[in-house]
Structure 1
Amino acid sequence: MMQMLVFLLLQAAYVFGCGTPAVPPDTSRVVNGEDARPHSWPWQISLQVKHGSRYHHTCGGTLIGPRWVLTAGHCIWPGDVYRVVLGEHDMSAQEGTEQIRDILRIIVHPKWDIDFVADGNDLALLKLDKSPIMKDSVGVACLPEAEISELGCETLYTRIIHGPMPDKLQQASLPVVEHSLCTRSDWWGATIKSTMICAGGDVVSGCHGDSGGPLNCLGQDGRWYIQGVTSFVSSRTCNEVKKPTVFTRVSAFTEWLITKKKLYY
């Protein structure tokens, strides 16, 4: 029954044209990170937290349904007030493509524990108060099939950087590090679980403010799937040797995500 539900809802995602941006991303020369082509990752969102009377970028996230955003569990703190900005490319300018939505419901994975990050389950679902208008600048990413652990596809990491770094959406190619290597004692060791993906860590990696953002994977069907949610990096430096960026592996949680989306539709 669950497999049928997953199949039907994945099919429904195709109706919304998931993973097919109207503006194709430029993947021809991505090496160490660069500005993304405007709106070529239309599912990327900015999760913003309210401080005083103003909102500030705190994490990235991914639109995975008309009213649903996927981000990291550690991005959510009880009592804080959040909003989601879609269609954002340059956070230093009003471009006219931005859409702002309040958050109606927050569902943090029940096994996420901020005191035990290495236990995994670093996921949260956000239900928007209303659907954004789907257009070239706002679209939906595809969810991978459940339990697929071997990516075998081109992976591109996108991040919104706000502050001393460029304010434009960035993209970078992050080679996936094999689980057997990432779990070696001189790498991440036992910290890495089967529900995690290691990527990058040589020249470029995730950093502060990138949390919750997607690890995008181009499937054989030409669609982009969100295979990872940015979870953590080394506490010493963002780009430490043998300490690649760690992502929550979305395919390990596909059924949980779809069940929650269905339950709270």
Structure 2
Amino acid sequence: EGEMEVVLVLLAVVAAVSGCGVPSQQPNTGRVVNGEEARPYSWPWQVSLESFFPTWEEKKCAIYISDKQFHTYRVVLAEHNMNKEEGPEQFINVGKMFIHPKWNDNCVSCGNDIALLKLEKNAVLNDKVQPACLPQHGATLAHNQPCYVTGWGRLHSGGPRATTLQQVLLPAVDHATCSQSDWWGSSAKTTMVCAGGASKSACHGDSGGPLNCEGGDGRWYVQGVTSFVDGRGCNTTRRPTVFTRVASFIPWIGEVREATLS
């Protein structure tokens, strides 16, 4: 069977494409709480990425292949409960990964924490699988603008992973605030977005998940990709969750898309 590690990716298209960011099932945005189970399929661009580590057993000895080249990745669309196959899921293998060329896994605070996946076949769009909108290049969030982070990460520091998709309201924190010395200081780059910083945050296992922000046009935009939280704990005052700022990477996303289409 092999071990399985779950991280997250999302389905997103450039905002010029019509029909993005409008879920058939409206997300429950009425309550401000410390996190709650999301209404099933209300974030239809949320995707689970599964990484399989193949193992072979011969008699009593096992050979573990841990080289990254031997990982097999697949995405699961229309996922809600991780522990059950509920019917609408789509399982699609990843054909190719495009990691940002300036990403350095020894320095997450250096930024460029973003990758694109090319799937082996197209997703079937329906009422439970729909694309998000991407922001325009250079778009910014207003301070305290309400956004939602979604994921199957830990429910609290050191706690259990969520079984069902969770959502939490995280107000955006502008760069001038987030980069103050008693906040994230120089770790907060202009290519990042901060959100939260009170009792609510993303947590380990949410990495790669979306920061969903409603635009003035009523559509949902993925403004951030979950990158890191404070080492002292997921819910730390003045240490908001830090996201890759998608609006900084629109040109790179366009280049990769063009390269894969040609």
On whether the aligned pair clears a TM of 0.5, the verdict is yes
Name 1:91's counterpart in structure 2.
82
Name 2:100's counterpart in structure 1.
109
Distance across 2 between alignment mates of 1:164 and 1:172:
17
Deviations 1:10-69 (A, max 9, x none): 42x21xx1101111111111421100000000000011110336xxxxxxxxxxxxxxxx
Distance across 2 between alignment mates of 1:258 and 1:154:
27
Instruction: Look up the equivalent residue of 1:139 and give its one-letter code.
Output: Q
- Answer whether contact 1:36 1:169 (CA < 8 A) is retained: yes
Name 2:220's counterpart in structure 1.
224
Which structure: greater helix fraction? 1
Instruction: Look up the equivalent residue of 1:98 and give its one-letter code.
Output: E
- Answer whether contact 1:161 1:168 (CA < 8 A) is retained: no
- Answer whether contact 1:89 1:168 (CA < 8 A) is retained: yes
Name 2:3's counterpart in structure 1.
none
Q: Number of aligned pairs?
A: 231
Residue 154 of structure 1 deviates from its aligned partner by: 3.0
Normalising by the residue count of structure 2, what TM-score does the alignment of the two structures yield? 0.84
- Answer whether contact 1:198 1:244 (CA < 8 A) is retained: yes
Instruction: Look up the equivalent residue of 1:257 and give its one-letter code.
Output: I
- Answer whether contact 2:136 2:247 (CA < 8 A) is retained: yes
Distance across 1 between alignment mates of 2:246 and 2:21:
15
Name 2:22's counterpart in structure 1.
20
Q: How does 1:227-246 map to 2 (within 5 A)?
A: 227-246=223-242
Distance across 2 between alignment mates of 1:166 and 1:248:
23
Normalising by the residue count of structure 1, what TM-score does the alignment of the two structures yield? 0.83
- Answer whether contact 2:96 2:117 (CA < 8 A) is retained: yes
Q: Which runs of 5+ in 1 are unaligned?
A: 1-8, 54-76
Name 1:177's counterpart in structure 2.
173
Q: How does 1:1-265 map to 2 (within 5 A)?
A: 10-11=15-16, 13-14=17-18, 17-52=19-54, 78-79=68-69, 80-151=71-142, 153-161=145-153, 164-265=160-261
Identity %: 49
Distance across 2 between alignment mates of 1:93 and 1:114:
33
Distance across 2 between alignment mates of 1:151 and 1:253:
19
Instruction: Look up the equivalent residue of 1:202 and give its one-letter code.
Output: A
Distance across 1 between alignment mates of 2:89 and 2:200:
28
Residue 228 of structure 1 deviates from its aligned partner by: 0.2
Q: For residues 214 and 245 of structure 1, do their structure 2 counterparts lie closer, same or farther at Cα, with a shift above 3 Å needed?
A: same
Deviations 1:118-138 (A, max 9, x none): 110100000000011111111
Q: Which runs of 5+ in 2 are unaligned?
A: 1-13, 56-66
Secondary structure of residue in 2 paired with 1:111: coil
- Answer whether contact 2:153 2:161 (CA < 8 A) is retained: yes
Distance across 2 between alignment mates of 1:40 and 1:169:
10
Distance across 2 between alignment mates of 1:119 and 1:32:
29
Name 1:70's counterpart in structure 2.
none
Instruction: Look up the equivalent residue of 2:75 and give its one-letter code.
Output: V
Q: CA RMSD in A?
A: 1.7
Distance across 1 between alignment mates of 2:165 and 2:190:
29
Q: For residues 226 and 168 of structure 1, do their structure 2 counterparts lie closer, same or farther at Cα, with a shift above 3 Å needed?
A: same
